[in-house]
């Protein structure tokens, strides 16, 4: 007499993963940061605005860009801490400011000022 | 709160052969300026060199270490013969 056993492993059946997972990971702030980086050739993420920088490092970076008379877009990271979190996750760079040119991270204040002084910044921004 | 000496030792311990000069430029234990010289930077872009140093401190940067201003260099580029 053979008792037919029910499938003992119903929990391991190959059900598709809940399709809600990827959708629920949509991240509008990260998307907005990535979009800004791709849309502006020269983009500075900073604390405050170019007219009113809220941090000395941001102020020095703005000054280097302005000294070269290059138009640039700026994003103030202060209004929402998530902007900074998502930006650093994308750029793998922990501090603000961050200068992007043609979608690539050029650097923060130290690198930008160093490049300004050596003339490299002018070349990159041409 | 880390001291400039703590920062120096952590950089030199983490990057093989590195020499670091670290200054606490506000005296408050949260704004540091470091010059790091290491052969390990060879072949890395300036961004990658800075990332190597920032990686030592992870989430402390922007947290307890409000600012770590960096200058990185490769020994051969500063040697004078």
What's the pLDDT score for residue B77? 58
Q: Do A93 and B54 touch (CB under 8 A)?
A: yes
DSSP letters for B9-77:
HHHHHHSTT-EEEEEESSSSSSEEEEEEE-GGGTT--HHHHHHHHHHHHGGGBTTTB-EEEEEEE-HHH
CA distance B70 to chain A (A): 6
DSSP code for A48: B
How many residues in chain B? Answer: 81
pLDDT the model gives residue B76: 73
Residue A12 has pLDDT above 50, yes or no: no
pLDDT category, A21, cuts 50, 70, 90? very low
- Mean pLDDT is lowest, of A22-26, A106-110, B1-5, B16-20, for A22-26
Give residue-wise pLDDT tens across range A37-77.
999 999 999 999 999 999 999 999 999 999 999 999 999 99
Q: State the first-to-last Cα distance of chain B, in angstroms, to the nearest integer.
A: 41
CB contact under 8 Å between B47 and A114, yes or no, is: no
**Which pLDDT score, from 0 to 100, does residue B2 have?**
87
Cβ neighbours of B67 in A, within 8 Å = 57, 95
Class of domain A28-125: alpha beta
Domains of chain B with bracketed CATH:
4-78 (3.30.300.90)
Could you tell me the pTM of the whole model?
Answer: 0.82
Average pLDDT over chain A reads 87
Which of A95, A110, A111 is closest, CB to CB, to B62? A95
Q: Comparing C-alpha atoms, which of B42, B41, B30 is closest to residue B2?
A: B30
3-state secondary structure of A22: helix
């Amino acid at each position: 007499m053979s008792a037919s056993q029910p499938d003992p492993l119903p929990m391991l059946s190959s059900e598709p993963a809940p399709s809600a997972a990827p959708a629920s990971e949509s991240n509008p702030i990260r998307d907005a940061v990535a979009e800004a980086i791709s849309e502006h050739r020269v983009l500075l993420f900073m604390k405050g605005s170019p007219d009113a920088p809220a941090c000395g490092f941001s102020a020095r970076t703005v000054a280097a860009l302005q000294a070269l008379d290059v138009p640039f877009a700026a994003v103030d990271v202060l209004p929402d801490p998530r902007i900074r979190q998502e930006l650093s996750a994308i750029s793998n760079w922990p501090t603000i400011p961050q200068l992007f040119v043609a979608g690539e991270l050029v650097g923060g204040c130290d690198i930008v000022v160093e490049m300004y002084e050596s003339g490299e910044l002018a070349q990159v921004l041409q | 709160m880390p001291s400039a000496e703590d920062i120096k030792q952590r950089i030199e311990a983490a990057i093989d052969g590195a020499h670091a000069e670290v200054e606490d430029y506000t005296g408050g234990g949260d704004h540091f300026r470091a010059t790091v010289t290491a052969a390990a930077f060879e072949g890395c872009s300036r961004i990658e060199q800075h990332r190597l140093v920032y990686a030592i401190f992870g989430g402390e940067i922007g947290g307890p270490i409000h600012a770590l201003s960096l200058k990185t260099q490769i020994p051969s580029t500063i040697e004078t013969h």
